[in-house]
Amino acid sequence: MHILIIGAAGMVGRKLTQKLVKDGTVGDQAITRLSLVDVVEPQAPADFTGEVRCITADLSDQGAAETLVESRPDVIYHLAAIVSAEAEQDFEKGYRINLDGTRALFDAIRQEHLRDGYFPRVVFASSIAVVGAPLPFPIPDDFHTTPLTSYGTQKAICELLLADYSRLGFFDGIGIRLPTICIRPGTPNKAASGFFSNILREPLVGKEAILPVPETIRHWHTSPRSAVGFMIHAATLDLQKVGPRRNLSMPGLSATVGEQIEALRRVAGDEAVALIRSEPDEMITRMCESWAPGFDATRARELGFTAETSFDDIIRAHMEDELGARA
């Protein structure tokens, strides 16, 4: 089996690659070839015995999608995007990367399909940003997509494209609406939601973290470990069971910032919590108040997608995966 990961140098892309290499299979098929693509060169996994290509490419560049697809991967993971705050600040870049690049990929696959019936599984990383306020809690699976950001709009358009290309039989696509991933390893990125991870990640290693919003802010989360699990399950799922509604809101955990902090206290103690410093930011608070507080996610759960059920578990997963400790 040949797997193409676009966005392989990103956090989810790296962890997905590691998990695929560790497992060695997708479903009952052995992985024999990996194509890892990003705008910066991805690192080749050291312990993979099959063929690996590490490619530096921008999917939105002319001809890039066609070059990637001509190698006929069996599963295509499309994880590449610029994050919410950057897409909002740079309108043209957001639409070029998040929409034009995706359309180019889908159409490159379509052309190969029309040539000789090529029919891959496409797993598209979407976002809960496709919904917008006013929002019920929990948000049902059939809630309308009315995004209130450019990033959410770009993802919603791509969801429609994925469903239409799948309906017409050009590829077998599934869209995974990822919750906010917490705790993200590494250093803060440009995502407006980054503080959700910062207030846990930094105190766990003895560093101060800034909290820009009230503790009453509620949001929808999952761990990097669960996000990778979603992606792998999506590659093997019988999409006849999904039907024409090819985009699914993933399971997650609804929690307030205060509940996150109390989970940190239970796992790491008062000393860790004392490292969180409140610096209110009205702009970030207004943004957060319009974000999804939580989803019902019945369809995804019934289809076998799973996630953590407590923030204690999310924190422990981070400690095990990133800090080499068992909590």
Domain-embedded: residue 30: yes
Q: What is the pTM of this model?
A: 0.95
pLDDT in tens, 265-299: 999 999 999 999 999 999 889 888 889 999 999 99
* Residue 75 structural domain: 2-179+223-249
**Residues classed as catalytic:** 151
pLDDT recorded at residue 326: 58
The CATH number given to whatever domain includes residue 100 is: 3.40.50.720
- Residue 187: C-alpha distances to residues 67, 190, 195, 200, 272 (Å): 32, 10, 11, 12, 18
Domain annotation covers residue 86: yes
Cα distances (angstroms) measured from residue 23 to each of 16, 26, 232, 307, 320: 11, 8, 10, 19, 18
Q: Within a domain: residue 286?
A: no
Higher pLDDT, 114 or 188: 114
| Cα separation, 122 vs 11, whole angstroms | 19
**Cβ–Cβ < 8 Å for 66, 35:** no
Q: Is residue 312 part of a domain?
A: no
Region 184-210: what's the mean pLDDT? 90
Q: What is the pLDDT of residues 254-272, one digit of tens each?
A: 999 999 999 999 999 999 9
Determine the Cα–Cα distance for residues 131 and 143; give it in Å rounded to an integer.
8
What average pLDDT score do residues 97-115 get?
98
State the pLDDT at residue 190.
65
Q: Which has more pLDDT, 190 or 186?
A: 186
Please list, in sequence order, all residues whose beta carbon lies within 8 angstroms of the beta carbon of residue 134, skipping any fewer than 6 positions away. Answer: none
Supply the pLDDT for residue 223.
97
Q: Is residue 284 part of a domain?
A: no
**Model pLDDT, residue 159:** 98
Domain count along the chain: 1
